[in-house]
Amino acid sequence: MNILNKIVADKKAEVIQKKKLLPISYLETSPLFERHCNSLVKKIKINDFGIIAEFKRRSPSKKNINSSLSVTKVAKEYEEAGVSGMSVLTDGKYFSGSLEDLILSRSIISLPLLRKDFVIDEYQIIEAKANGADVILLIAAVLSRKEIKNFSSLANNLGLEVLLEVHNLEEIEKSIMPTIDLFGVNNRNLKTFEVSLETSRSLAEKIPDQFLKVSESGISDTNSIKELIEFGYKGFLIGENFMKSDHPGDTAKDFIRRITQ
């Protein structure tokens, strides 16, 4: 069993337990459930490009990245740095994240927040809305076309935007539907964790122009951003490159400054 299959299996067991502890009827009573979501698409389109800065303590491939930083401190720094949105890992077992990180971020910044997790059940989408998310991540590699359609439709009905993550042409073709807002090309192979920006370059023209294109993972220099902009990408999700710093916000601010020079 590869790491992706193991994560999904563990996530299914986790969701079963969550449903017993906190049913949907309880989630819908959250004060955040009725809030109007902030649009990541609109935020990115304001400029020529948009950085989605990630808060990530660890990952299966890199182990510990930076576990000492406060999520509220980083969130505030990211907002002040001028990023377009913030991605918050909420998986606990493999990424040391939590829904509390999402709630705390929501309490201190107005940036669009992406709940980054392995969504395999409609419950998690309602949970995302109840905890302050504006955007959810759907990973085509672990979902059928029917699941993508059902999950994205539910998200849209709740006012959430959908970032659909792909790794190849087959995943793009099964995911093209009007309920998707952003197409994210992950440069990291989730089965081997190898990273190559060639994935974004080769798939760019396969994604219809009506979708905002986002390149994810392995982006560590500004020249890569400038090159990928030429391939039609408007959004760039960056985590490790910022989080390995003691001051992720300062690193993000300098990164954005160098792109615009």
Q: Which positions are annotated as active-site residues?
A: 54, 56, 116, 165, 186, 216-217
Q: Per the structure block, which two tokens stand in for 133?
A: 């998310």
Q: Where are the beta strands (DSSP E) in 171-259?
A: 182-186, 212-216, 235-238
Residues 80 and 78: their CA atoms lie apart, in Å, by 5
Cβ atoms of 219 and 238 within 8 Å: the answer is yes
Residue with tokens 């029917």: 146
Give the containing element (helix H, strand E) for 139: strand 135-139
Cβ atoms of 155 and 126 within 8 Å: the answer is no
DSSP string across 121-167: SHHHHHHHHHTT-SEEEEEGGG--HHHHHHHHHHHHHTT-EEEEEES
Residues 199 and 209: their CA atoms lie apart, in Å, by 18
Q: Per the structure block, which two tokens stand in for 117?
A: 């997790």
Q: HSE-up of 116 (CA within 13 Å, CB side)?
A: 26
Give the orientation angle of helix 122-130 with respect to helix 145-157, to 10 degrees: 30
Question: Which residue type sits at 228?
Answer: L
